[in-house]
Amino acid sequence: MPKITYIEYGGREHQVEVPSGLSVMRGAVDNNIPGIDADCGGECACATCHVYVDEVWLGTTGTPADGSQEASMLSFAALAQPNSRLSCQITVTEALEGLIVRMPEGQH
């Protein structure tokens, strides 16, 4: 099972194993990791599972396509950066073994 590292805004790290096929958001929620709210439950309909993907991983996770629902929702998120993703839209695969994501100051 791929290991994923979630880093809270304050710096606290959580390393958990997340089964392939689940989303990175689900991995956080199922392990009670604070900082990812996921209000819509993974429908790409809010922006409260916002994370910053560690730069070295951006090539593997990819970035949202222009004009996509994810890009649109992220454009309303406070504090979005070029490496921002909605973690409900990143599906865990073996290729993401070791992925690091960081959380913003708050979900909005």
* Residues 36-55 contacting another protein, CB under 8 A: 37-41, 43-46, 48
69 near another protein, judged by CB under 8 A: yes
Furthest CA-CA distance within the chain: 34
- Nearer CB in complex with another protein: 20/34: 34
In whole angstroms, how large is the CA radius of gyration of the chain? 12
81 binds another protein (CB under 8 A): no
Q: Which two tokens stand for residue 44?
A: 């790409």
Taking the least distance from each CB to another protein, the nearer of 36 and 90 is: 36
Nearest distance from residue 94's CB to another protein, in Å? 28
